[in-house]
Homo-oligomer: A and B are copies of this chain.
Amino acid sequence: MLTVDLAILTVGDEALQILLVERGSEPFRGQLALPGGFLRDQEDLLDAAQRELREETNLDGARLHLEQLGTYGRPERDPRGRVVTVVYLAIAPNLPTPVAGTDAAAARWAEVDKVLGRQDVLAFDHAEILDEAVERARALLEHTTLATTFCQEVFTMGELRGVYEAVWSMRLDPRNFSRKVTQTQGFVEPVGKVKSGGPGRPAQHYRAGPATVLYPPMLRAGGR
């Protein structure tokens, strides 16, 4: 019995959010869980993850970051019997509203901090998996330009900094952050337009550059 589950992360309301579905059947009926489903015959693992992503969110898997997080197979993790699950981590831009998937269960965003704060809101071993997904996302932001994937196609420096602040749960110095981003070749490219709207000086607009690796990395302070 092999399943593929998804940890789909985004940033909204200045916080890291995870896409969860409410379970409609036993076990763990009524509790929240990561979206996922069974691996089909002759289906590649990554293909299965992309299919689940499409089914649950109507998102195009080709557009966003999708990578294998890990495989979880403790014999007692599913009370029905032995189920091993391969979990994929997805990084998505802030979506207006999670589209109800073709599967019956309602999907919704939840703040990671609130979900992990309470015991027994998540089904199976999904709390443990979410823990590892968050740690992976934090490390990815240190070493790659992946933070831009959390943003819309065009974004401001403040929005990009907001992604780091939400994922890392810490405030960053705007000056030092801006210097690091702009001095890293290919991280962002300025778009010759500025924001209109509210009060305050308009912000420069950027889009993601061609670079994928951050060298030297942008390390979280304090050595964890």
How often does this chain occur in the complex, in copies?
2
Residues of B within 8 A of A72 (CB): 45
Look across to chain B and name the residue whose beta carbon is closest to the beta carbon of A82: B42
Which of A52-60, A150-158, A195-203, A211-219 lies at the interface?
Answer: A211-219
> How far, in whole Å, are A86 and B86 apart by their CA atoms in the complex?
9
A223 with B219: in contact, given A44-B73, A45-B84 (CB under 8 Å)? no
Q: Would you list which residues of chain A between 56 and 86 have a CB under 8 Å from chain B?
A: 68, 70-75, 82, 84, 86
> How far, in whole Å, are A142 and B41 apart by their CA atoms in the complex?
39
A84 interface neighbour in B2, B41, B217, B219, Cβ under 8 Å? B2
Verify if A43 is at the interface (C-beta below 8 Å from B).
yes
Q: Which residues of A contact B (CB under 8 A)?
A: 2, 39, 41-45, 68, 70-75, 82, 84, 86, 213, 215-217, 219, 223-224
Can you give 14 contacting A-B residue pairs, CB < 8 Å?
A2-B2, A2-B84, A39-B84, A43-B75, A45-B72, A45-B73, A45-B74, A68-B70, A70-B71, A71-B71, A73-B86, A84-B86, A215-B219, A216-B223
**What 13 additional pairs, Cβ within 8 angstroms, besides A41-B82, A44-B75, A68-B71?**
A2-B2, A2-B73, A39-B73, A39-B84, A44-B73, A44-B74, A45-B74, A45-B84, A68-B70, A70-B71, A71-B71, A213-B223, A213-B224
